[in-house]
Amino acid sequence: MAILVLFAWACGVGTVAAATQTLAAGWRFRLAPGSTAVQAHPEAAAWRTARVPGSVQTDLLAAGAIDDPFARDNEARLQWIGLADWQYQLPLTVDAATLQHDHVELVFDGLDTFADVSLDGHKLLAADNMFRRWRVPVKEVLHAGSNTLLVTLHSPITRLQPWLLRQPYALPGEFDAAFGDEPKGKQTSNYVRKANYQYGWDWGPRYVTEGIWQPVHLDSWDDLRLADFHIAQQHVDAEAAQLLAQFDIRADRAGKAQLQLTWIAPDGGRRGVAQEVSLKAGANHLGLPVSIRRPQRWWPAGYGPANLYHFHADVVVDGKVVASSERDAGLRSVELRRQRDRWGRSFAFVVNGVPVFAKGANLIPFDSFPERVTDARVQQILQSARDANMNMLRVWGGGYYQSDAFYAMADQLGLMIWQDFMFGGAVPPYDAAFRENTRIEATEQVMRLRDHPSIVLWCGNNEVQTGWESWPDRKKFAQTIGPAERARVEQGMRTLFGETLRDVVRRYAPDVPYWASSPGTDFDGPANVPDDGDMHVWDVWAGSAPIEDYLKTTPRFQSEYGLQSFPSMATIRSFAAPADLSPDSPVMRAHQKFDNGNGNQRLLFYIRKYYGEPKDFDSFVYLSQVMQAEGIELAADHLRSARPQSMGSLYWQLNDVWPGASWSGIDYFGHWKALQFHARRFYAPLRVAPIRRDGRTEVFLVSDRTTPLDARLRTRVMDLDGRLLHERLDGLHVPALTSTRAAELTDAALLQGADPHRSIAVFELIEQGRPVSRHLLYFEPALTLQLPDPGLHADFHNSAHGIMLSVSAEHLAREVWIDFGSLDVQVSDNAFDLLPGERVELQVTGTGGIASLRDALHVRSLFDATVRPPAATTSETTRP
């Protein structure tokens, strides 16, 4: 996990004069003696085998003491775990050789969250921040042989709630507890540095974890320790990279040393430099200047290769390497461009001097229980983002800082990371102790992550400023506390986000921009405005506004917007029984966190408005995904077409923490929803985007290529049975990095008298004779289109590339969806439209041969998803 790699850097990878003993095996856990939960759960008072890193919830699950936390409505029955205190114990065996070292330190890379640690009865530390590392000297209290390490974890709710109830007020939080363990409006999560989402969110469950969530190790060393090694990028351009290799050395005594740095360039070239230095006893902050001519720079996906240099550092004393460290770093310049222009003030990322339109999504934690997240799972999600032509992910502030493996993968994939500090929207306390705790946390995390070229922004928080300014509960609260206290709360937010965190980034990662709050204007005016800074757009969905309202606002950078959907039926069946398969069943409501389970009615509102009444639960699930995909596509196309007025589209959200309804494009098990397939098309480097408003369509050609191209725009209008009404072909020059308006057409000009309920316009961008982007434009909502039975046909065959699935349609097939039930099978494309007479070849990967695939195959489209009008029949292919 994250802080484990921080230790590898801090102590030096391959350090000669240091040793590390990993403390992962032999842990036990139990309810803490005296806990009130012992009476109701006496079986949990006995010692059981524990896993470290881990949490109480996952340890209980592994022991068979609780049922699956994600199944059915088990969430309500498992809340007692996070309200109790727990103990973890380890018999710690230490050999005499370890104690011969000058320094022996016990290191917890992460404790969740309030934890008292003792060794053989000697109190070592009291932790109070999930996001910090805790290092304690233990040489004087250890003895050779067996020692007993005890960690007592306190429920953050049980610890803080009595204190909070004595206060004159409670600061506004996020989501009230759904299970009555905290009074409404009295949330403790604001006051503790712990992942906010674990208290429950509108897309995830309430599991307030406790545990040793990061690795534990015993470090021993002599004379000196390389505490940190960093490649500071002072200036990078096409001609040269001016770097400073920074060494943070802790030395016991003064003396001479040599700093040696070698590196391997992306093309395999090797170079190195060295410098003699004088060390003083204590902390030494040393720099070794480095200049690289014509650097092979790191580029975001789609703009060039994600080049990485490998740097290796040695500290040499008397000809002997006594400490060493290594890291990968990408050389690049990053600017957050904020310029006055005719639309207001810009918000654009500029990498290596090139303005980049940010295409991507918001990333939430991968699981309710972080210790269950594997590198393979992270890789699958990040690769999915890259495969969908994304170039940016926003790591949202209500979770936790991700592992080094996460950022290394983002580096390699060319995915830019917008990194929030961990504030999810609640109003933070303004006291100095809380601010100092956060400052230390931020310093550790920025130092850990600053060599990753993927991180292009540090952001102070998510929605704290806009919430304070505009959310009704905050406005009401502000009136109740009086002007003097209100001023203190406001100044506390400005100090924390406008000064404290900004100063940390400026000091430790000055090459990366800082932004105070999202959405915001960096405290240069009100938050969440379209003409300055970034904007979260939630009138659609949260405000029940029509999806077309996405076209009414053109923010400078749209960093949140979204529509919900349900995951696949296979995912739903992982947590639900057959009797649960209805939108308003207790179990389905339990897995719908928006508006306390009422979100399914919001889903039905949008489905009915645009598509009609789902004919069954399977169709409800399918239509929820179609609605989500087509709605987000409209918004993304609008934003891309408005370049350079708009320079970013990050929809909410990429992934899930559990199986349930949410705004994600990829479900908990990694299955792509319709949205993710659509994203691959609407985020493609070349995109034809017809935007229709009030009977008039503007056709934009959007290019993220860094070179211009000559292409052709083919426009066809046909009926739903495939009869061509008219077409035209226009030659066009498409400049680099632009959106070009290629045509403006009225409905009358397109239809030329044809029935809008039975006609479509097909726009294709053709490069060198090959269509590179296609967009079907409908003149009426799906609800009123007279869709014919598409006459879908599908069959399998073997090819040199493996098993292929051929799918064709006799008439228009809208939103074709292919699934294989419970089989773990993927197809190379899905959620697409087929024109009349069109056939596509899809690659099939996964388990099973053709016979089992054929038995499991289900192909559907919009035609058979809704309750048909009484007059409709399926015997006519032209007018059902």
User: Which tens digit of pLDDT belongs to each residue from 848-874?
Assistant: 889 999 999 999 999 999 997 544 333
Q: Are residues 565 and 203 in contact, defined by beta-carbon separation less than 8 angstroms?
A: no
- Cα 721–chain centre separation: 42
- Band of the pLDDT at 15, cuts 50, 70, 90? very low
Instruction: Say how many Å lie between the first and final Cα of the chain, rounded.
Output: 56
pLDDT at 17: 53
pLDDT tens figures, 547-568: 999 999 999 999 999 999 999 9
Q: Is the pLDDT of residue 189 over 70?
A: yes
Sign of the CA dihedral running 116, 4, 453, 311? positive
**Rounded CA gap, 729 and 749, in Å?**
15
**Rounded CA gap, 33 and 698, in Å?**
70
Q: Is 691 helix (H, G, I), strand (E, B) or coil?
A: strand
**Rounded CA gap, 160 and 153, in Å?**
13
Distances from the Cα of 350 to the Cα of 358, 377, 413, 701, angstroms: 10, 30, 18, 22
Percent of the chain with pLDDT over 90: 95
Token digits of residue 409? 């993968």
When the candidates are 2.60.40.10, 3.30.9.10, 3.40.50.720, 3.40.1410.10, the CATH number that belongs to 792-864 is 2.60.40.10
Q: Closest by alpha carbon to 19, among 124, 77, 99, 119?
A: 99
pLDDT at 869: 59
pLDDT tens figures, 290-301: 999 999 999 999
CATH architecture of 24-214: Sandwich (2.60)
**Rounded CA gap, 358 and 435, in Å?**
32
**Rounded CA gap, 29 and 49, in Å?**
6
DSSP type of residue 639: H
b/e string for 424-441 if b means 16 or more Cβ within 10 A? bbbbbbbeeebbebbeeb
CATH class of 686-778: mainly beta
Would you say the CATH fold of 792-864 matches that of 218-236+238-329?
Answer: yes
* 724, HSE (Cβ side, Cα atoms, 13 Å): 7
pLDDT tens figures, 677-731: 999 999 999 999 999 999 999 999 999 999 999 999 999 999 999 999 999 999 9
CATH architecture of 218-236+238-329: Sandwich (2.60)
Token digits of residue 654? 């990429």
Q: Which amino acid is at 135?
A: R
Percent of the chain with pLDDT over 70: 97
All residues at 6 or more sequence positions from 299 whose CB lies less than 8 Å from its CB, including other chains = 305, 306, 307, 332, 351, 352, 414
- Band of the pLDDT at 159, cuts 50, 70, 90? very high
pLDDT tens figures, 757-808: 999 999 999 999 999 999 999 999 999 999 999 999 999 999 988 999 999 9
* Prediction pTM value: 0.95
Domain extent listing, the chain? 24-214, 218-236+238-329, 686-778, 792-864
Q: Closest by alpha carbon to 460, among 446, 475, 477, 474?
A: 446
Q: Can you list the positions of beta strands (E) in 484-602?
A: 514-515, 535-536, 558-560
